[in-house]
Amino acid sequence: MVLQLSSTRKKMFPSQIMKNSFSLLCFSFLLWLISYSFYYKHELLSDQNEVSLTEIYHTSTYKSTLSNTSSITSLNSLEELNKKFCGKPTCKFLFAYLLGEQETKANTHFRSFSQLAEKLNRIMILTNVGSSRIGTCNKFPFDFYYDTNLLQKEFPNVIFKSENDFIFWLKERDQIKMTLNNNVNKNIISPLSILHTSIQSHKEDTYYYNAETNFDKNKCISKFEPLMNLEDPNNSRVSYTKMFVKTTDLIRRRAKFSKLLTKVFTIDEEILLVNGRVAYPLFPEITPVIPYNDYILNEAQRLKDKLSSSYIGIHWRLESSIPELLPECVQGLIKTLNKVMKEEGIENIYLATDYPLSSRSQSSTFKNLSHYHHDAIKTLNETFKINTWVSLGGLEQLKENNQYDKELNGPGIQGILDKLVCINSNYFISGPKGCSRVSSFTKAIANERRDRIKNNDHSLLNTINRWEP
C-alpha cells in the first residue's frame, strides 16, 4: 500500500518567529481586556442558559439563544454555543454529503463513515435521503428512511445531527461571528475551517494528495450558502484533498488501511466535508444494516398479511440482462415457480423488479428497455397472478401527498419496501447471470434470510435459489 501525504508548510526564520510572537502577545492582551470587561455578565449567561448534552442529544430543532445580540461579547459566546450543541468548546463535524451508490450500498457506506466519525470524535451529520440515495441533494430528512434511535444505539459514542441541526449551528455561529467582529473591528471569530475531500475507489495504489480548488464540487452544497460558502474566504477557509483507495486494500488489508485513514483525517478543521465513492466498507468491523423507519417496516408486514403470510418472493433485476435471452429466462422462471408452488404448497407470488411498474424504472441506471423486457414481464403476468407493491396498494399514505410523487415514480422508498417483503417471503428466488443482474440488493436479502434461518426462523424455507433459463 502506498499513501502519499503532501505538505505545504514553510520553514520560518528566528526573526519571523520573534515578530509573530510579539504580534500574538499583543492580540492576546487585547482579547483578555475585552473578555475581562464582560466576565461577570457571561458567567450569569452561562448558568442561565446551561443545557445538558443528554437534553439535546436526540433533539432535531433548537431555539436560538442569541436573540439579544448585546449578550454576544467574547469567544465565550461561541464556546457556549458549541457546548450546548456538541458537548465541548469546539464542534467538529464529519459531513459525508454524497455517497455514490443506491440505498443498499449507501447504507453500508454511511455506517463506514459513522465509524470514522467515532474514531475521529466528530459529530456525524445525518445526510438527507431520497430516490434510493443518501446525499444532500435529496430533500427528505435521514429518518424518512431510517430509525435514528436504533442507529444511535449501534453507535452510542457518536453524536448524530440532522442537516437542519447543522444549519442551525452555522446560523448561530455566523451571528456570533458578525456581532463580535463588527463590535471590535477585528477577526475575533475566524472563518469556518473546512477540509473538503473526496474518497474514491481506484484500481492502482492507495494515495492521498492536495487537490485543485473546488474539485467535484456538488451543486447542492450551495444550499448552505451564505452560512457556508466555500468560495468566500471571509466565510470559509477551505483546503482540498483527494484520496484514491485501491480496491484490494479494502478487501485484504482493510485493518491496516482503516488505521491510515483515521491518521490522515485526524485534523483540526471544524468541518470534514466528504464526497465518498468507495466500493467496500472502510473498516474491518461490519456493523449491522441501519434499521429502517417503523412506517416502512409496518408496510412490509401489511403486504405480507395481504399475501396470507405465505408467498414466493422474486427479485428480478432486468438491468444488465441479455435481452435476447429473456424469452428463455421467463420460461425458466415459470418452470421454477410451478415446481416450488407444487412442492411447498405456496399459492402467492410477490415480484420485486426494476422493470417500471409506474412511469419510471425503480433503478435510475436502467434506461434501455426493449420489446424483450416488455414481452418477458407480459408472459409472466399472463401465466400467474403477480403481486407487486403497486398492486397491493403499498405506501398509499405517501401517494396522497404530491411532495412524494417523484420519490414514488422512480427509485425510492419502495425499493426498501420490496427488500423487506422479499426478506419475509417463505421462499425466495432470483435470476441467474444473463437473465438478471447479480446485485448487492439480492445479496442483502439473502444475507438477512441466512441470519434469520440461523436464528431458527422456521417460516423461511430457503436462503435463495436461482432459476435456470
The amino acid occupying position 257 is F
The pLDDT score that the predictor gives to residue 74 is 62
Give the E-state strand segments of 302-382 in sequence order. 311-316, 348-353
Show Cβ contacts of residue 331 under 8 Å, excluding neighbours closer than 6 positions.
379, 469
The pLDDT score that the predictor gives to residue 418 is 97
The model's pLDDT over 80-120, given as tens digits with 9 standing for 90+, comes to: 999 999 999 999 999 999 998 899 999 999 999 999 999 99
Read off the DSSP letter of residue 292.
B
The model's pLDDT over 325-355, given as tens digits with 9 standing for 90+, comes to: 999 999 999 999 999 999 999 999 999 999 9
- The CATH topology of domain 294-466 is Rossmann fold (3.40.50)
CB atoms within 10 A of CB 393: 12
Q: pLDDT band for position 41 (50/70/90)?
A: very low
Q: Crossing angle for the helix pair 326-344 and 371-383, nearest 10 degrees? A: 20
Query: What SS3 class is residue 83?
Result: helix
Mean pLDDT, the chain, as a whole number?
Answer: 84
SS3 string of 174-219? Answer: HHHHHHHHHHHCCCCCCCEEEEEEEEEEECCCCEEEECCCCCCCCH
The label of the residue with cell 465541548 reads 88
Show Cβ contacts of residue 382 under 8 Å, excluding neighbours closer than 6 positions.
none
Asked whether 122 and 159 are in contact (CB, 8 A), the reply is: no
Q: State how far the Cα of 404 lies from the Cα of 400, in Å rounded to an integer.
A: 8
Q: State how far the Cα of 301 lies from the Cα of 105, in Å rounded to an integer.
A: 24
Backbone angles phi, psi at 463, to 5 degrees: -85, -60
Asked whether 279 and 203 are in contact (CB, 8 A), the reply is: no
Least-confidence region, from 46-50, 171-175, 286-290: 46-50
Q: State how far the Cα of 246 lies from the Cα of 353, in Å rounded to an integer.
A: 32
The model's pLDDT over 259-301, given as tens digits with 9 standing for 90+, comes to: 999 999 999 999 999 999 998 999 999 899 999 999 999 999 9
Read off the DSSP letter of residue 148.
H
Show Cβ contacts of residue 124 under 8 Å, excluding neighbours closer than 6 positions.
93, 94, 113, 114, 117, 155, 158, 159, 160, 161
The strand pair at 207-210 and 236-246 is best described as antiparallel
Q: State how far the Cα of 414 lies from the Cα of 395, in Å rounded to an integer.
A: 8
The pLDDT score that the predictor gives to residue 426 is 97
Q: Where are the domains of the chain?
A: 19-277, 294-466
Q: State how far the Cα of 412 lies from the Cα of 349, in Å rounded to an integer.
A: 22
Whether residue 34 is predicted with pLDDT greater than 50 in this model: the reply is no
Read off the DSSP letter of residue 387.
B
Q: State how far the Cα of 461 lies from the Cα of 426, in Å rounded to an integer.
A: 6
Q: pLDDT band for position 69 (50/70/90)?
A: very low
User: Can you spell out the DSSP letters for 20-75?
Assistant: HHHHHHHHHHHHHHHHHHTHHHHHHHHHHT---HHHHTT------S-SSGGG--SH
N residues, the chain: 469
Query: Among candidates 397, 328, 395, which has minimal Cα distance to 358?
Result: 395
Asked whether 316 and 351 are in contact (CB, 8 A), the reply is: yes
Asked whether 362 and 414 are in contact (CB, 8 A), the reply is: yes
Answer positive or negative: Cα dihedral of 296, 298, 303, 304: positive
Asked whether 443 and 435 are in contact (CB, 8 A), the reply is: no
